[in-house]
Amino acid sequence: MADLLSLFPVVSALDADGTVVVGGCRADALGEEFGTPVLVVAEAALRARAREYAGELSARWSNSRVVFASKAFPCTAVQRVMVEEGLGLDVAGGGEILTALKAGVDPGQIVHHGNAKNDEEIAMAVDHGIGLVVVDNSDDVDRLEATVPEGRTQDVLVRIIPGVTANTHAHVLTGHTGSKFGLSPDQAAPLIKRIENSRQLRMQGVHVHVGSQILDVEPFAESVAPVARLGEFPVYDLGGGLGARYTWADSPPAVGAYLDALIGAAKQHLPAEAQVIIEPGRSMVCESAMTIYRVTTVKRGAVTFVAVDGGMGDNLEVALFEQRFEAGIVGRFDGPDPELVTVVGRHCESGDVLVDGIALSAPAVDDLLAVPATGAYCFTMANNYNGNRRIPVAFARDGHARLVVRRETWADLSARDVD
């Protein structure tokens, strides 16, 4: 358990009584102020990561941009931090365009993705002057040509399937042959020609993204040559995908090591004057946050279940791709009487597990449980299953905490009912 603290945001510590302190705020005080469950973001850690990415990329390729993949944590306050740190935003769909704009991003710094963009989203992208629309298929081109007004042009990238199979869960793999995202180089070549001849579209370059939670650097490097073969363009967007550290067994490459490999390949294959974009999501936000739950039941039997007041309504990562998390009882990370338990949520599914097999110190009803590394894809996939009210998000910084997203109310749950 000694390592548990190392999974919390970089600014975390243990108080004299053993309570974890994140962003200068004690977990018990955060639970008291905002209720549980609550997702707490250490703002300084988030900003530090954004700066690390920007600094490490520009040191290796000066004509470059980091755009945060909003989908990993599309909360306006998080997007605003990224914008304040000088990053652009990658959005997937109309909703993320709107929160990105609310966060104050220059629309020209937005990269718009989607494998099934509809007319409305294409119109939103064009109307708001989104910088780059990433074309996934020829229907995107039909829609864009039907939407961009006479006398205007829309800059586009074309998403390429590089045929690279990274070592990650199949559900978050995207660069393999047969992926639903993008086009094979053979399919892309005629579409690129078509765009180059279009009056309304400007062919700016190509895009590639091999998948998510990737813990080795080779797949990133391997993805560059297949896109380089399609020709010379002003822009190459090399996607995101770097893995994060959820558990002490994980040792994801440092940002610098990842970029050594990726930009090393770029230097080998891409035109020196081109702009390189990267789109980190998970690795940008994952380790900057934790979720605090309250234990509601401890049931000892063949398996000891510690049930908490959240679960798959606020963290779908376990059910979606079997992500392992760690956890500790607040105040007793290293406490006495460790017991091997399974931490489960309050939802009506046996798959509603938060941590399958973990030693917790004498877990009891009303204890607080802290789960680190919940910054990526938890907020965004939160849901109302079993009438769950989606949980709040608080930022902690220098000993002060502020609510940035409130908890859903009971009234919110029926707010869309029209009958």
Taking CB under 6 A as the criterion, which residues in 168-207 touch ligand PLP?
none
**Cis omega before residue 37 (within 30°)?**
yes
| 30 or 54: CB nearest ligand PLP | 54
Phi, psi of 227 (to 5 degrees): -80, -30
| 90 or 367: CB nearest ligand PLP | 90
**Residues 86-105 as x/- pattern, contact with ligand PLP by CB under 6 A:** ----x---------------
Q: Is 276 near ligand PLP (CB under 6 A)?
A: no
286 is catalytic: no
**Residues 209-228 as x/- pattern, contact with ligand PLP by CB under 6 A:** x--x----------------
Distance CA 392, CA 36 (A): 9
Among 26, 49, 65, 113, binds ligand PLP (CB under 6 A): 113
Our CA angle for 123, 130, 213, nearest 5°, is: 105
Q: Which two tokens stand for residue 196?
A: 């180059």
Among 11, 20, 27, 72, binds ligand PLP (CB under 6 A): 72
Phi, psi of 211 (to 5 degrees): 145, -165
Among 43, 56, 279, 314, binds ligand PLP (CB under 6 A): 279
Q: Is 69 near ligand PLP (CB under 6 A)?
A: yes
What 3-state DSSP class applies to 318? Answer: helix
| 50 or 369: CB nearest ligand PLP | 50
Q: Which residue is nearest to ligand PLP (CB)?
A: 281
| 72 or 292: CB nearest ligand PLP | 72
Distance CA 11, CA 398 (A): 9
Among 26, 112, 117, 282, binds ligand PLP (CB under 6 A): 282
Specify whether the CB–CB gap between 19 and 328 falls below 8 A. no
Q: Which two tokens stand for residue 56?
A: 């490490």
Instruction: Count the residues in the chain.
Output: 419
Specify whether the CB–CB gap between 86 and 105 falls below 8 A. no
| 245 or 389: CB nearest ligand PLP | 245
Catalytic-labelled residue, pool 25, 75, 286, 348: 348
Choices 33-41, 234-242, 250-258, 406-414 (CB under 6 A): range interacting with ligand PLP? 234-242
Specify whether the CB–CB gap between 213 and 281 falls below 8 A. no
Q: Which two tokens stand for residue 160?
A: 């390429």
Our CA angle for 100, 173, 217, nearest 5°, is: 90
Residues making contact with ligand PLP (CB under 6 A): 69, 71-72, 90, 113, 209, 212, 239-242, 279-283
Q: Which residues are identified as catalytic?
A: 348
